[in-house]
Structure 1
């Protein structure tokens, strides 16, 4: 019997993949740091064992799946090599596993987690599917027709996949610790496009995606007339956002989604295009309206008269999109942005862009930069960003009570590091 051991099982992709293998009847265990992550709860619910990192976890008979955050000199990976065990990197294993399904990769600089979750939700109402979402959620069925998964471009990891379909939401410069320019990012997506077997669904409003060359059909979606799938007559309604979809300039259907902002419409349009191409009926695609969202993407709760939102936004364009969605949903409330930059390289590269995006909020609090294990801190500090955002303040775990000042406002905690500890500290204040 094969036992799969995950090195870094609390990672978002790793957690989801571990759940998929567990659901498919495999024996799964893993290890990680003892710090608590939001991905743990689902693993615990499925009784998947999680051990502290130790080379003693590695025993003969294991198949090891190593998270991409851990280098080859990690003690468990070294021990696995010493014992001659099969070792896969996360993306390598996933690339082999998904070959048994009709696979749909969702990729892009922004919006891929929300789009993956939305597509999985809609398909799951009609078909038996498996899915792997970048918020740490995974579900497997042995008899699945479709496998929906998030495919990350970082370090070109998505080139381990040869999916039947790919949704491409956008191309933008990010991960400056790896990519040299937006053209370098484009080249990676072009390589990915060359590996798709049946069809690509791409945002036609994105100037870079318009240049993608492919051997398979490319369906474009967006707001512009030139797209195969176009959204028109967009309006905010009590339950979310409503819009009409035109397929090659012919009216198709009116849809409602329970979210706000143009980026949400584009995500939904990508799902509609893929499902339409696969022959699904409009009444089945309308399950868009019942989507409950994914973790850490505009996750809301109330504290007294305040709305508290937790969001993964960690790029200037994502911050803009999140604040835009808040303005549309809560037009009469003031917005307090609490932002923790993620990685020194990204913060340095987009310092002015971050400042410009944060100025869209009424009040701004900044938390210390969350550095990555893959980089050196350098000379940059949070004060460099603060200097570019007038009237912004620095926030520590001891000063979160200041957030009470926006009494009936929206507080949005944004970042890809451990921003949630500031939110928790604030929520624990009476």
Structure 2
């Protein structure tokens, strides 16, 4: 039996795919840097072997699945080619793999991971469903009918996929190290739309998605009247959100979700629309929407003393704004403190003013050094450039996070896509030592 060897198994998509193949009883192992990464917990629990990178890991008879972050010159990939072992890039393998199921791609500049997680949770309540979520979670059911997966637009990777359905949550300018501008982003989504085989569920209040053309039906969802699926009478409470759904202006049903902010209403609408199209039982959809606990690193809460600490992946101004607004809905009487680590110099440079604008929605702002990426050249930009644009903001030092303790009874939002978690851990350790 073929052994699948993953080069870069701790990557969020890679670890999820490894879990899926392992669940389906394939022989799976992988290699990566020895540094701890949050995705490895699930791999370890599944007893999937994780090795340090070295060319000796590659043996004849294997199939190598290579992570997108690793070049063809990587020692294991070079060794595989030398031995004649097949090397398949992650997105290419995934594109072939999904042909066995009714596949649903979830894509968009924001909300992909949360919507993929929500859709998988709802669908598996009705039918055997396998899923791959960008937070490193993957599950393979041997008799799956559906395959729900997150499809990323970065470097146009999602063009490897020809899914039955696509949910498109929005089009926004991001990844400025790759995309030239918003029109370049739109062209990638338009190309993806031509590849969808059965139907597209798109956010209709997005001016770019309204222009999408396709060979299949496009159903729109949103708050605006002209959408096929419209949310009305939205009631926001500290326990969650309730809303009515109208299908082509006719009342359909009322839903309650234990989530906060408009973006979570929209994610739910996308899922409701897809389930309606696939004739999934309405009672199951209602019950599953009401029991969804969220995905990793998306508004992940913990109470420490009189403070609420929230870990969130928000790394674009639109996401930062949505996260702060969600915190305001759930905790209207508490002070909201943003602790933000920008992710990549190119993104920070491109959105300097927009980041400042979004962060000003918090009561206090702390900034952490920019988390650079191996794929960019560092210019003169520094965290001070962002700090200058936000009155009263301060730089947070990982070695001394004690200043955060002065915000009694507040909500601390740790936001970023880099290693912002180390700042939260440092603060929790400081509190633990102090209270010993």
Mark yes or no: TM-score above 0.5.
yes
Question: Quick one: distance in 2 between partners of 1:375 and 1:200?
Answer: 34
Q: Which moved more, 1:57-66 or 1:288-297?
A: 57-66
Q: What is the deviation of 1:93?
A: 0.4
Matched residue, 2:236? 236
Unaligned runs of at least 5 residues, structure 2: none
Question: Quick one: distance in 1 between partners of 2:422 and 2:56?
Answer: 31
SS in 1 for 2:343: coil
Contact 2:244–2:252 at 8 Å: present in 1 too?
yes
SS in 1 for 2:202: strand
Unaligned runs of at least 5 residues, structure 1: none
Matched residue, 1:317? 318
Q: Given the two structures, how large is their TM-score scaled by the length of structure 2?
A: 0.98
* Counterpart check, 1:58 vs 2:58: yes
Q: Which deviations, in whole Å up to 9, do the C-alpha atoms of 1:131-164 show, x marking residues without a partner?
A: 0000000000121000000000000000000000
Question: Quick one: distance in 2 between partners of 1:120 and 1:146?
Answer: 9
Question: Quick one: distance in 1 between partners of 2:402 and 2:107?
Answer: 39
SS in 2 for 1:97: helix
CA, structure 1 residues 388+325, in 2 after alignment: closer, same or farther (shift >3 Å)?
Answer: same
Matched residue, 1:290? 291
Matched residue, 1:14? 14
Matched residue, 1:329? 330
Matched residue, 1:35? 35
Q: Which deviations, in whole Å up to 9, do the C-alpha atoms of 1:148-190 show, x marking residues without a partner?
A: 0000000000000000000000000000111001000000000
Matched residue, 1:364? 365
Question: Quick one: distance in 1 between partners of 2:322 and 2:120?
Answer: 22
SS in 2 for 1:390: coil
Matched residue, 1:246? 246
Question: Quick one: distance in 1 between partners of 2:299 and 2:55?
Answer: 38
Question: Quick one: distance in 2 between partners of 1:249 and 1:282?
Answer: 18
Aligned residues: 430
Q: What is the deviation of 1:390?
A: 1.0
Any residues of structure 2 matched to 1:105-184 within 5 Å, and which? Answer: 105-184=105-184
Question: Quick one: distance in 2 between partners of 1:363 and 1:72?
Answer: 45
Deviating above 4 A after TM superposition, structure 1's stretches of 4 or more consecutive aligned residues are none
Matched residue, 2:380? 379
Q: What is the deviation of 1:238?
A: 4.8
CA, structure 1 residues 238+370, in 2 after alignment: closer, same or farther (shift >3 Å)?
Answer: closer
Any residues of structure 2 matched to 1:27-106 within 5 Å, and which? Answer: 27-106=27-106
SS in 2 for 1:408: coil
Q: What is the deviation of 1:415?
A: 0.4
Q: Which deviations, in whole Å up to 9, do the C-alpha atoms of 1:222-244 show, x marking residues without a partner?
A: 00000000000011235310000
